[in-house]
Chain A
Amino acid sequence: MIRLDRVSKRYPGGHEALTELSLEIPRGSFTFITGHSGAGKSTLLKLIALLERPTRGQVLVDGCNIARLPRRRIPAHRRRIGMIFQDHRLLHDRTVFDNVALPLVIAGADPREIPRRVRAALDRVGLLGQERARPITLSSGEQQRVGIARAVVNRPDLLLADEPTGNLDPDLSREIMHLFERFHARGTTILIATHDLALVRELRHPVIRLQHGRLVERDAA
């Protein structure tokens, strides 16, 4: 589903986040990306979601080189991907419902269908009763689950998560990971950047280990 071919990313100022990285992620897989801070985990996810463009190389998603995708087609590409962030990136002046509904509104979904789909997504992350709440009144774990509900409400084929458990204690982290496993069981391709090695070992999924922007280990679990 995703193939990187000798991808490099150099930021203005000269820092090279990824160097000649090549890898492949099959459809329907559940893959962890690990490595120290600054190893290039976030950059890898950003390139796949086309939040950034590579300096060199090809990023193929379903055979399409998105590194060359024209600007006006970037939003459509991002809408096909569910993206989850460490800091949740929720809108705090809106209710949980409105936050989760946002991707549907952006995609121009039928407004009569939005409430049903938002509730379905909230139900899957176990937050059905919290529609009217403001994100700020929820715990960090709950906020992350709102972020996940927002990522899956459009039923994307691919979920990218950047340190989704970075701010959570071990129990909550495990809970969130089990949530991802449930989406994986329904056929969604999952790619999670994390440095929670204990959890990664426990869950036994394929691991891509990055160091200084290079692939150092590919563990098929």
Chain B
Amino acid sequence: MKHATGTGHGGRRLTPPLAWLHHHLHTLLDTLGRLSHTPLPTLMTCAVVGVALALPTVMLTLVHNLQRLGGAWQAGVGYTLFLDPGLPDDKAARLAERLRHWPELAAVRFLDRAAARRDFERLSGFHDALEALDENPFPPVILVTPADPDPAPERGEALRRRLAALPGVDLAQFDLQWVRRFRALMAILERGVWAVGCLLGLAVLFVVGNTIRLEIGNRREEIEVTRLIGATEGFVRRPFLYMGFWYGVVGGLLAGLLEEVLILWLAPPVAHLARLYGSDFRLQGMGPAALLALLATGAVLGWGGAWLAVGRHLRRSDPLA
């Protein structure tokens, strides 16, 4: 009976990493079996975890869709240069030609007076009102897209000033402004969703922790006996941690399912709305990477909740503590 060495007597043992792996795998599956013996309470807990995780997941997916929409709008949006109404079309076209050589501009589109009028008619529907006018009130227009899709505000403004100062330019307007505001709004919204997500994550932690606490109560006898015959703290803790892990993972899976169902349900009316605006925008569910992240989040929260419950219980119930 030497205390210096870790191994006891009698019989072969697996090499430590193998025995460890075997025991973990065994506990993982054993815990799953145990949970499936009481399907209803297990599913109830998983459902609570699932709903709590589904809420921020759905909101985050919607925010990401809106951000994607904002990104789509931004492409091709830049500065609108309204030229002097009296500027002849050929001079205006030469100005546009000069702008095409600017390295800080990605695209330049020139609309002569007639084209500007056609564009407005098409977009506004004021065809009849324009018919009543004798002459074309529209100036020639140059639309430019900056090479930098998201310039810093001061640099964007500097470029606008340079464009406005060009001879023949009456007014240079920064079209990106409202897209940037939209994106700023989305950033706030995303933060809000994360905050709600953190709160609900905390709720998951406590729900799992409480369920595990009850389970510990049910298995008090088993904990005591295994301790009496030499189980380590890790051995006692492990089945409960894996139980929390399963609650989290299955809850995460349910959350993913709920999210997909909701997105599928919302997709047709969103697609319809997008078509009315002439867009082919489609609502997208979360991808496999996000689903994996969701499952991992569930697993970590479930594990953590179990850890809180088991840690507290073990400290309290150990007579030698």
Query: A residues touching B (Cβ–Cβ < 8 Å)?
Result: 1, 49-53, 61-62, 64, 66, 69, 71-81, 83, 85, 89-91, 93, 102-111, 113, 117, 150, 154-158
Contact = CB atoms under 8 A, between A and B. Distances in A.
B230 A107 contact: yes
Given A75-B232, A103-B230, A111 B9 contact: no
A106 B11 contact: no
Contact of B225 (A89, A110, A158): A89
Nearest to A53: B320
A119 to B, nearest CB: 13
Interface stretch (B15-23, B85-93, B193-201): B15-23
Given A76-B230, A89-B224, A155-B10, 11 more contacts: A71-B320, A73-B3, A75-B233, A79-B229, A83-B229, A89-B225, A90-B225, A109-B13, A110-B12, A113-B12, A157-B9
B121 interface: no
B33 interface: no
Q: Which of B8, B12, B231 has the most CB of A within 10 A?
A: B8
B226 A62 contact: no
B230 A79 contact: yes
10 contacts: A75-B227, A75-B231, A75-B233, A76-B6, A77-B3, A91-B222, A102-B226, A102-B229, A104-B11, A156-B9
> On chain B, which size bracket covers the interface?
20 to 34
A108 B9 contact: no
B125 interface: no
Contacts of A111: 14, 22, 26
Given A79-B229, A102-B226, A157-B1, A113 B235 contact: no
B235 A69 contact: no
Contacts of B13: 107-110
A80 B319 contact: no
Contacts of A110: 11-14, 19
B30 to A, nearest CB: 10
Closest 9 CB pairs of A and B: A79-B230, A78-B230, A155-B10, A108-B19, A62-B1, A75-B232, A75-B230, A106-B231, A110-B12
B155 interface: no
B1 A154 contact: no
B226 A106 contact: yes
Nearest to A73: B3
B128 interface: no
Interface string B145-157: 0000000000000
B276 interface: no
Interface in B1-50: 1-3, 6, 8-14, 16, 19-20, 22-23, 26
A105 B13 CA distance: 10
B12 to A, nearest CB: 5
Given A75-B231, A78-B228, A52 B3 contact: no
Contacts of B26: 111
B222 to A, nearest CB: 6
Contacts of B134: none
Greatest chain A CB density within 10 A among B12, B228, B229 is at: B229
Contacts of A105: 23
Contacts of B320: 50-53, 71, 74
B170 to A, nearest CB: 82
A155 B9 CA distance: 7
A114 to B, nearest CB: 9
Contacts of B16: 108
B88 to A, nearest CB: 91
A76 B227 CA distance: 11
Given A108-B20, A110-B11, A76 B3 contact: yes
B133 to A, nearest CB: 90
A1 B2 CA distance: 11
B221 interface: yes
A72 B3 CA distance: 12
Nearest to B234: A75
Contacts of B319: 51-52
Contact of B8 (A71, A91, A154): A154
A53 B22 CA distance: 33
Nearest to A114: B11
A69 B235 CA distance: 20
Contacts of A91: 221-222, 225
